[in-house]
Amino acid sequence: MMPIVLWTDALVFLLLAATAGAGLYIRRHEYLLASWRRVGESRAGMAALVVLLAFVAVGLLDSLHYRPRLADANGRPANGYGTEVRSVLDALLQPLRAATEKTYSAPLATHLYARETVELPDGTQARVFPRLKHGGAHLGDAEAEWGGDVAWRILRGLFFAVLAGLTFLLGAVHLAARHWAVGRSQAWRRMRRGETRFAWNAALLTAGLLLLLAGPAISLAGGYHVFGTDKVGQDVLYLTLKSIRTGLVIGTVTTLAMLPFAVALGIAAGYLGGWVDDVIQYLYTTLNSIPGVLLIAAAVLMVQVAIDTHPDWFATAAQRADARLLALCLILGVTSWTGLCRLLRAETLKLRELEYVQAAQAFGASAARIMGRHILPNVMHIVLIAVVMDFSGLVLAEAVLSYIGIGVDPSTISFGTMINTARLELAREPVVWWSLVAAFTFMFVLVLAANLFSDAVRDAFDPRLTGRRIAHSAQGQTA
């Protein structure tokens, strides 16, 4: 196989490297480490973080792309590589990816969802529900064996989930006991009762629940379509897992595009004032006066025209779809920086009047040095809170834009495209509901986890909430 690095892959791993670098920087500065320790004390925040890490793991596996080697007529490797771009997640989910049916089938079904006319052995014709090629194909008598086989697979999945959970738990307790220099039983007692600074009990409980859900799903996926199939017979569970990367890319890469505009212009407007402030205010006021959907639609259509008129720019269809995804991220970033810019301008107006900034001015420090050395570090809590809280809004924005046809490329699997396709399926009889429910459930869990984690970050980094917390603790000690 030949590794392929798409533009969004490079940006995702660049962001991952930046996060690792930020983690090392935080470890060397106690005041930053103290704020993140407060995030770790939040049970809801740590439970949400575990869920987010599960989504991130799926997204990273789907960001490792390659082109498979061509095969000859006998199935042996040949010279050259195919034009299809796959990911590591595709390789792991190959049984689901290859198990395509003729058309719709319900979750865990053994027959198609629609009747077809078939010819019986005696020459007569009848309208029946045909058997699936893959779902339940291992069953001899589907009606008699289905219930027992599903129950057995669920129990087997639960067994391996419990086994994996206990193994992970023992490893965590062992590491915690070594770190705290106590016995394993005492370490487990502390973690279970929540007597640690880090909310281990919430994180471990959430990880256990995820394993209890994933175990039976993996076991059932070996013989059935857990979430059914769509109109062209693709496994809905496979499509839902593939949609995760698109949501994560929209939420993270858009942030990379938004931050330079918001931070630079917001601080410059608040500190420099005068005509610079007037120009920046006029710029973001004008952008806010234009309906966001119309602005995004116009930009996306212009990008699409450029892509259609230059097909030679892209060697594969995946690179073409990735270019539109990257363009959508940049467009969302350019059109969504105004809110954070306004917040940073207001905070900078307050900071520039403080004594340490005026002292720096008296010593002859340049405006660029004051903004970079004295103001930027003191507004980073606003930047961090805004970035984390905007993530869920960007994921929902992709779903809305793809639903109305101006989002990602139609060949890109996303929550928005799944919901747009399910819209037509709800109008048929009988109703095909599982595609919509699967996409909505995964997107809801992702957005909910992002919101809960953003609340924990806001509570830990907001100076007003931190001051109240210190005042309450001081009153308690006095009492």
Tell me the pLDDT of the chain (479 aa) as tens digits: 788 888 888 888 888 898 898 888 888 888 778 888 888 888 898 999 999 999 999 999 999 988 887 766 566 666 677 778 889 999 999 888 888 888 888 899 888 888 888 777 777 777 888 888 888 888 888 888 888 999 999 999 999 999 999 999 898 888 888 888 888 888 888 888 877 888 888 899 999 999 999 999 999 998 899 999 988 889 999 999 999 999 899 888 888 788 888 899 999 998 888 888 899 889 888 888 887 778 888 888 888 888 888 878 787 788 888 888 888 888 888 888 888 889 899 989 988 888 888 888 888 888 888 888 888 888 888 888 888 778 888 888 888 888 777 788 888 888 888 888 887 777 777 788 888 899 989 989 998 998 888 888 888 877 655 555 545 544 544 44
Q: What is the pLDDT of residue 220?
A: 92
Instruction: Report the alpha-carbon distance of residue 164 to residue 242 in Å, rounded.
Output: 24
Nearest to 135 by CA among 109, 154, 157: 109
Query: Two tokens at 171?
Result: 């490893």
Contacting residues for 90 by C-beta, under 8 A, at least 6 apart: 62, 97
Q: What is the pLDDT of residue 477?
A: 44
CB-based contact 449:52 (threshold 8 Å):
yes
Nearest to 126 by CA among 135, 139, 116: 116
Instruction: Report the alpha-carbon distance of residue 110 to residue 392 in Å, rounded.
Output: 37
CA distances to 39, 134, 210, 219 from 95, rounded to whole Å, are 40, 10, 22, 12
Q: What is the pLDDT of residue 211?
A: 93
At 63, is the secondary structure helix, strand, or coil?
Answer: coil
Query: Two tokens at 210?
Result: 């995820």
Q: What is the pLDDT of residue 464?
A: 58
Q: What is the pLDDT of residue 77?
A: 64
Nearest to 371 by CA among 230, 292, 272: 272
Element (DSSP H or E) covering residue 356: helix 355-362
Instruction: Report the alpha-carbon distance of residue 219 to residue 155 in Å, rounded.
Output: 9
How many CA atoms lie within 13 Å of 156's alpha carbon, on the beta-carbon side? 13
Q: What is the pLDDT of residue 160?
A: 94
pLDDT digits (tens, 9 = 90+) for 179-236: 888 888 888 888 888 778 888 888 999 999 999 999 999 999 988 999 999 888 899 9
Amino acid letter for position 365: A
Virtual CA dihedral for 278, 281, 286, 291, nearest 10 degrees? -170
Cis-peptide, bond into residue 430, ω within 30° of zero: yes
Q: Given 3-state DSSP classes, what are the helix, strand and coil percentages for the chain, each rounded to the nearest 5?
A: 70, 5, 25
Nearest to 425 by CA among 166, 183, 113: 113
Q: What is the pLDDT of residue 55?
A: 94
Q: What is the DSSP letter of 130?
A: P
Q: What is the pLDDT of residue 51?
A: 94
The structure's pTM equals 0.87
Burial of 466 (0-12, 13-18, 19+ CB in 10 A): middle
- Give the ranges where 93-141 is alpha helix by DSSP (H): 94-98
